[in-house]
Amino acid sequence: GAGVSQTPSNKVTEKGKYVELRCDPISGHTALYWYRQSLGQGPEFLIYFQGTGAADDSGLPNDRFFAVRPEGSVSTLKIQRTERGDSAVYLCASSLTSGGSTYNEQFFGPGTRLTVL
Amino acid sequence: AQSVAQPEDQVNVAEGNPLTVKCTYSVSGNPYLFWYVQYPNRGLQFLLKYITGDNLVKGSYGFEAEFNKSQTSFHLKKPSALVSDSALYFCAVREPGFQKLVFGTGTRLLVSP
């Protein structure tokens, strides 16, 4: 079956601009996560959705970052007034949560490479 | 707060030899531990996980990992390395009650023919 997909695969923008990054999770996965991976580092957690609600947004670096998942499926990560330090690969992941059990592994998409000039 | 350490930036091994990629963790309570692999220009792929039970867990592509609670380690192993195993490997921990994964900085595995 189809995995997690992310669009665009690459995004180049200028400092100060607004960007949106999209994630399509695996069908039926109720949990969705956003991570950011800088060069030479492991992924860093940004935000976690369970259904439509953001259950944990403790990783968002500041109020320029915002994410939504209005229908409990597709999610959009929004970055306002982009800065050069926002340049990174943004990864989306999804997982199953069944019967309250959250042991399930997260399946990652290929990422969106964001470059802020 | 939970954390993961991968002490080796790179591991070099000859094809056919056993490989070990090291990981230690710090977490409150019993950890959930994961290994992922990342090939160039591709997303992270799940290899294996430890939740509870047998300390030796087996995963994809012949990989296995051993959970050692006293040493707070979760080393990745494979009895016989393949050139195609060359990639970037990430260890991750999840603390009970939280959903986020905390990743190490990654270890590049290079298997030479």
Q: Mapped to the 3 state alphabet, what secondary structure does A21-76 carry?
A: EEEECCCCCCEEEEEEECCCCCCEEEEEEECCEEEECCCCCCCCEEEECCCCCCEE
Among A92, A95, A108, A113, which would you mutate to test the B interface (most chain B Cβ atoms within 10 Å of its Cβ)? A108
What was the pLDDT predicted at A114? 98
Nearest CB among B34, B43, B106 relative to A91 is that of B43
Q: Which pLDDT tens digit goes with each residue over A64-80?
A: 999 999 999 999 999 99
Condensed to tens digits (0 to 9), the pLDDT of residues B22-73 reads 999 999 888 899 999 999 877 899 999 998 888 999 999 999 999 999 999 9
pLDDT of residue B41: 75
Q: Does A9 touch chain B (CB under 8 A)?
A: no
SS3 B62: helix
State the pLDDT confidence band at B109, using cuts at 50, 70 and 90: very high
Chain B contact for A79 (CB, 8 A cutoff): no
Query: Distance between CA B33 and CA B35 in Å, rounded?
Result: 7
Distance separating alpha carbons of residues B60 and B58, to the nearest angstrom: 7
In 3D space, the residue among A63, A1, A57, A10 whose CA is nearest the CA of residue A29 turns out to be: A1
The residue of chain A with its CA nearest to that of B34 is A105
d(CA A13, CA A92): 20
pLDDT in tens, B84-106: 999 999 999 998 888 899 999 99
In this predicted structure, the answer to whether residue A47 has a pLDDT above a threshold of 80 is yes
CB atoms within 10 A of CB A27: 9
pLDDT of residue A98: 55
